[in-house]
Amino acid sequence: MDWGAKPLVHRPLLGGVAIVVYLACAKLITHVLTAGNYGFYRDELYFVAASKHLDFGYVDFPPLVAVVTALARVVFGDSAAALQFFPALASAGVVVLAGLMARELGGGRFAQGIAALATLVAPNILVFGTWLSMDAFDQFNWALASYALILVFKRGRPRLWLFFGLAAGVGLLTKVTILYFGFAVFAALLLTPARRHLLTPWPWLGGAVAFVFLLPYLYWQVTHGWPTLEFWGNYGGKLDPNSPWEFLLEQVLTMNPVTLPVWAAGLYYYLFSREGRPYRVFGFVFVILFAIFAFQNAKFYFLAPAYPMLFAAGGLTIERFIRLHEWNWLKPAYVSLLMVAGVFVAVLSVLPVLPVEAVAKTTGLVGGNAGIESEARKTAELPQTFAFRHGWEDMVETIAGVHDSLSDRERTVSCVLAGDFGEAGAVDFFGPAYGLPQAISGHNNYYLWGPGGCSGEVVISVGVPLERLEAVFEEIEHADTVTCEYCMPVENDLPVYVARDPRIPFEEAWPQFKHYN
């Protein structure tokens, strides 16, 4: 197949947009076929609980993901595969937008295909199509806003700033880190001739549109005492400290090293070149975001939504380089390299396709996450993205055994107190089949949902530090231990306690269990 730049009007099924759509469909189908293979991801159990408490906001995330979860449950059911469809669809949409951005920049079939393919095989983008989280939708919103900006700069239609504001507004309902993107765009405008846009009302109106979307979340923050500020204040404590050089290395590795020529070429040889001057804003946006996230020691995947634009610019640059030197052999060679490397990385650390035993034997040799840590916690033989899908029902079964061992009277008044939202979400999801009451927890939004009707007379506790229990209860019994083979180490060998006789009324003791992190 000739991946040249000339459009084939008479062969639309082999045109650039068609190739982009094929790649996006391949990604979506792959996610659908592998969905649910390893079970529920930890955060999904939390989001299911949040979907039963719909609100304008939550301690650790804006409301959109809870609404999407509720919609998925109504339309598709409560299975892991059902919950993972919408993020898979959003992640496939990022592939489409990367290709369309390359097209708007003037790229032909090869440029559009490379932009889409690089986006597809980048682990930091691919992985978030495999479970329900904020990030798949966040990446889509960033890509949509970037596409809107290209249209603004290319077509000279300032009203398209409203389209940018709409994408950013939905992004604010998804994940507040898009505020960094908005700041970077503003700063980049000031640094380039595109600052002339700021002399018109349209960027400001676009910002106003985005702000309107944020208002319900701000209202929730005000009425709940700004809990998200406390959450972010504690957030750094669970991150693995990195230098800027380590952050850069993580970017290269987690975006797939074979995509480096694409995004590096897009950044340096196009966006900061004379030819790419109309779109230089995007080059500064990436540099500003990189500096902010590296300085703040942010998680490496916070920068992932900024790459589709670089892939688009890089696809165009490589296409023109090949045409200039007439190295047509490089087209199938590089496409093949991207595909092979993408499949290799995806199978071992991103897509739940292999038997878990086989993955553990391979990744365990290099420390599970291969030295790439997003959090300061011990990892398992499996990558964290896999390990957090194991052990949840086993944990609930162990808790149920302790619950069944209680006397009839104690079972009637007992409640389950979990240490974090994953454990609480697992009890809420799997517990009813075992006759367990709904869980309570002091972690993040579970704290705001309160202790319910729990009197504290008999509490089955899992994941709560013993010293915290000792500060509240007179009697504490070690009843059992949760074990699991492939789960995160923090969830293995977890003691289950039965606590009795609170020293003070349990509602008064409830603030002692609060932790936002």
Helices (H), 105-201: 109-121, 123-126, 134-155, 161-172, 178-191
Give the pLDDT confidence score for residue 78 in this predicted structure.
95
Give the pLDDT confidence score for residue 95 in this predicted structure.
98
Q: Which residue, of 318, 350, 382, is where some domain finishes?
A: 350
- Checking if the pLDDT of 131 tops 50, the result is yes
Q: Which amino acid is at 179?
A: L
- Checking if the pLDDT of 435 tops 90, the result is yes
pLDDT in tens, 38-49: 999 999 999 999
Beta strand pairing call for 494-502 and 473-482:
antiparallel
| 3-state secondary structure at position 226 | coil
In a domain, residue 4? The reply is no
Q: b vs e for 256-273, b when ≥16 Cβ sit within 10 Å of the residue's Cβ?
A: bebbebbbebbbbbbbbe
Mean pLDDT across the chain, nearest whole number?
Answer: 92
Give the pLDDT confidence score for residue 374 in this predicted structure.
52
Whether 303 and 416 share a structural domain? no
How far is it, in rounded angstroms, from Cα 204 to Cα 224?
29
In a domain, residue 369? The reply is no
Q: Which range of residues forms the domain containing residue 455? A: 392-513
Per-residue tokens: 331: 């087209």
The residue among 202 and 368 whose pLDDT is bigger is: 202
Give the pLDDT confidence score for residue 218 in this predicted structure.
97
- The confidence band for 366, taking pLDDT boundaries of 50, 70 and 90, is low
Whole-number CA gyration radius for the chain = 25
* Average pLDDT score over residue span 117-125: 97
pLDDT in tens, 304-343: 999 999 999 999 999 999 999 999 999 999 999 999 999 9
Whether 201 and 331 share a structural domain? yes
Left if phi > 0, otherwise alpha if psi is -120 to 50, otherwise beta: which for 76? alpha
In a domain, residue 425? The reply is yes
Whether 403 and 345 share a structural domain? no
pLDDT in tens, 150-194: 999 998 889 999 999 999 999 999 999 999 999 999 999 999 999
pTM for this entry: 0.92
Whether 324 and 469 share a structural domain? no
Are 271 and 282 contacting, i.e. CB atoms less than 8 angstroms apart?
Answer: yes
Domain count of the fold of the chain: 2
Whether 320 and 457 share a structural domain? no
Whether 433 and 290 share a structural domain? no
In a domain, residue 23? The reply is yes
CA 246 to chain centre: 21
- Checking if the pLDDT of 7 tops 90, the result is no
* Average pLDDT score over residue span 134-154: 97
- The confidence band for 9, taking pLDDT boundaries of 50, 70 and 90, is very low
- Checking if the pLDDT of 85 tops 50, the result is yes
Listed residue (131, 125, 45) closest to 85, CA to CA: 131
Give the pLDDT confidence score for residue 11 in this predicted structure.
65
Per-residue tokens: 295: 């300085």
Give the Cβ contact number of residue 214 at 10 Å. Answer: 18
* Average pLDDT score over residue span 274-303: 95
Whether 132 and 234 share a structural domain? yes
Give the pLDDT confidence score for residue 254 in this predicted structure.
94
Phi, psi of 482 (to 5 degrees): -80, 130
pLDDT in tens, 37-80: 999 999 999 999 999 999 999 999 999 999 999 999 999 999 99
CA angle 400, 402, 403 (to 5 degrees): 60
- The confidence band for 380, taking pLDDT boundaries of 50, 70 and 90, is low
